[in-house]
Amino acid sequence: MKILIATDAWRPQVNGVVRCLEAVVEELKKRGHEVLVVSPLNFRSFPYPLYKEVRFSILPKRKMKRILEDFSPDRVHISTEGPIGLAARSLCKKQGLEFTSAYHTHFPQYLKQHLGIPEFVTWKYMKWFHSVSLKTLASSETTAQMLKAHGISKAVAWTRGIDRRVFLPRENSEFQNMERPILLHVGRVSQEKNIDAFLKLNVSGTKVVVGDGPIREKLEKQFPNAVFLGWRFGEELAKAYSGADVLVFPSRSDTFGMVMIESLACGTPIAAFPVCGPVDIVENGVNGEMNEDLSIAIRNALSVSREKCLESSQKWSWEKAAMMLINTQA
């Protein structure tokens, strides 16, 4: 089967959307499918001022039309609502091609926070964009229900997975001379991740941040006692998860949070707010703790069994995610 995935988020970006697509593409190819990813790499583009690695494609519709005609896909999946997604949506609708779409990012909240755009304006666009797709694949059941409440009636939960060749308990000597407990944050160091809510906590131990982004320098100056390691990938990232005592996930705006299930696969529990993302992953007392007081969540998560964390990660599968992408269009 020939599958075309249109996305505004792709390498060299480092985020959950890209990691999800990379894993799904790998699974599809393993099963003999031919997959074409159409991304900003296919077009002239310019960087988004706030995040230089995020690029907006310039007038992609004409070239997208040629790509669709040349590839002649059996399935089309539109992963994002940006210029590439918009071009693919328009062409598929015009040519009578059915497609699925996805909702990865809380753009209504994000655009209000960064650009001051009222949420109802972005929700109106989201409802319009997803209205003609067969299904809108949401990153969690909570997100799917939220989309339905905003009029996106064909939203369904789309599972996520873990690369179990990489994310498993590993030895880590890097943290051995740091004060315990090791409280880890992994992800993009940007405003919407709410990292300062974690770093300003008055709790014992060492706060470690893995990742990079536009506010890293600011946070390093503001919180000199925190350890900033930059990006880690593959086994080095798994070692960071494994060496931590708790993964702290302070975001209130993520639709899922793949770092949480990767952490669980390495045996490390989660501390988070009880919001979209964590509520679909964290079971209090089983694999972590959710609490509006993040310091209490950390304290309770420290007593959770690492074996139970490992057990709770078993339900996440990239194979299921890949099959769902195909089956929703069958």
In a domain, 235, yes or no: yes
H or E element: which one contains 218?
helix 216-222
In a domain, 234, yes or no: yes
Answer yes or no: do 241 and 305 share one domain.
yes
pTM: 0.92
Give the model's confidence band at 330: pLDDT under 50 very low, under 70 low, under 90 confident, else very high.
low
Residue 52 has pLDDT above 80, yes or no: no
Instruction: Work out how many domains the chain is built from and give that number.
Output: 2
Phi, psi of 57 (to 5 degrees): -75, 145
As beta bridge partners, residue 137 has: 102, 156
Residues in the chain: 330
Token couple for 247: 């993964």
Give the model's confidence band at 51: pLDDT under 50 very low, under 70 low, under 90 confident, else very high.
low
For 108-152, what is each residue's pLDDT tens digit? 988 888 889 999 999 999 999 999 999 999 999 999 999 999 999
* CATH at 253: 3.40.50.2000
H or E element: which one contains 30?
helix 16-30
Answer yes or no: do 18 and 145 share one domain.
yes
Token couple for 41: 């790499």
In a domain, 170, yes or no: no
Q: Which domain holds residue 272?
A: 182-315
CA torsion through residues 179, 181, 182, 185, sign: negative
Answer yes or no: do 276 and 300 share one domain.
yes
H or E element: which one contains 51?
strand 51-57
Decide: 256 and 139 in contact? Cβ < 8 Å.
Answer: yes
Residue 31 has pLDDT above 80, yes or no: yes
For residue 213, give the nearest of 189, 194, 242, 231 by alpha carbon.
189
Q: Given this model, what pLDDT does residue 55 score?
A: 83
- Annotate 263-323 with DSSP letters as a single string: HHHTT--EEE-SSTTGGGT--BTTTEEE-SSHHHHHHHHTTS-HHHHHHHGGG--HHHHHH
Q: Which residues contact 56 (CB under 8 A, 6 or more apart)?
A: 8, 40, 45, 46, 47, 48, 82, 83
Residue 59 has pLDDT above 60, yes or no: yes
Listed ranges 104-108, 109-113, 218-222; the one with the highest mean pLDDT: 218-222
Residue 93 has pLDDT above 80, yes or no: yes
Answer yes or no: do 241 and 150 share one domain.
no
For the residues 259-267, what does the mean pLDDT come to?
98
